[in-house]
Structure 1
Amino acid sequence: MTPLSLFVLDLSAEGAGRLTRHDPAEPVIPVTDLGVTRGDGIFETIAVRGGVLQALGPHLDRFERSAAMLDLPVPNRAHWTEAIEAAAAAIPEDPRPGAVKFVMTRGIEGGSHPTGWALGFLADDPSGERAGGIKVVTLDRGYRHDVAQTSPWLLQGAKSLAYAVNKAAGREAARRGADDVIFVSSDDYVLEGPSSTVIARFGDTAVTPPVELGILPGTTQADAFTALEAHGVATLIKNLSPADLVEADALWLCSSTRGAAPIRELDGAARTVDAAWTELMNTDLDARRR
């Protein structure tokens, strides 16, 4: 990641959404901020090409959903849009995908208002993963599939800053010689990746798991489904098991900066890479950012 611009949003009553620009290397977040000390906050990352944001509305919708789950103040959509667009406008045209990460924390411990900012950056080039595919392992997430309903305080389905478990899963994948992870519930339901959504192809139908399993609504997956549907492909949201992944004709992990990355190996077994569907989805995703 190459940071390019930082815009801090004043979320105090007096600040009324005032936006200030900073050097991304400048220290602007206090060490007593609960986002730093507790991971108590939320975020989203939006892909940008040519100054155009992909799926801004759905990302803001998900941001608001996460805020509600964490009992944070309702984000002022106009203020956040201004901050995000300012960060996007500072991203130059580049072969690498641009992106904006926007964050709201609970603020300084003992304080009265949240902290907010938007960071514009260039992400890693995903072309290699799109062309060659990725190696993936399945890992037990340690929760039942219905944890979002039985234990909402565990915040499954919120995009929070508490990413230690997700990063640990990535390190475990690396130890197993893989690039990424698909989480599975303790009772064998396919969930999502640490920062991605699963798509499986069964014949001429694309399938992704439902958000009722405590997973994030995939903004990139939704756009990929729109692209597939425009070409006559049937799409379906339904529960999947690890056995279904083995039986699928092809698999992908989708995320904002990577697009649709085909899976070429799952738990050590080679998988067929569907180059045609991969190109179809990514061509449409890239066009949406221009």
Structure 2
Amino acid sequence: MEQCVRCPDDKYANIEQTHCLSRAVSFLAYEDPLGMALGCMALSFSAITILVLVTFVKYKDTPTVKANNRILSYILLISLVFCFLCSLLFVGHPDQITCILQQTTFGVFFTVSVSTVLAKTITVVMAFKLTTPGRRMRGMLLTGAPKLVIPICTLIQLVLCGIWLVTSPPFIDRDIQSEHGKIVILCNKGSVIAFHVVLGYLGSLALGSFTLAFLARNLPDTFNEAKFLTFSMLVFCSVWITFLPVYHSTRGRVMVVVEVFSILASSAGLLMCIFVPKCYVILIRPDSNFIQNHNGKLLY
């Protein structure tokens, strides 16, 4: 032909390049095998987390639960439930509200989880690393000062998310390049810099928790959870360090799948590394769930 006409964005050329055909709309739907699998994983892990929370509440007076700070454990488990559930926002037909909620809920609930791990780590270090704490340090432990880490860290993340939403919020985008003959509907991050700032802030909290827990990993105590906190933060950081290059090398629905899988994997890593050993002691090895006092008596 002497003159060629480009097809509109919502259409594509047939093989003979003589007609324009309408593109099919595509997104990560619950009807797709991947969407169904990710949705089932999110609901299953949420149910498991709720069962662990019920177990901790039922056995709240045992040394395993009491020694690892019951309140912080409850906060961490509840935040993990929301972390698993927030991944459901990435499945289904996106709209403007879900695009905004995807990033804000992800950032806030993960900040609560990681800052709770940081608070637990600070509590362990303050209680065991300082062999002769003074009145001020002892008072901080008794008043629950480490718990202030959670609202402070969460407030900082809320400010970062607020700046993100005001300057360049996420929006619905159409990708016509990743899948031939299809229009992929997905959420554009808006400001890529803000997205990486939110992830970087989470990473800094996780790195701080990992460093403190690593320093306290060999402290002699039957119920010291520093080793579990260290491994959980190692898994968390490994997942998100792997996520960034994989995420930026994919397009379309695969990009959404990678982000959802990273959310589920990092949340499951926190759940399994921190709480599975405790549930094992509580339910399978109750004979080791005691404290022996100076008179040789067992205190449950």
TM category (shorter chain) comes to under 0.3
Larger Rg: 2
Structure number with higher strand proportion: 1
- TM-score normalized with structure 2 length: 0.26
Structure number with higher helix proportion: 2
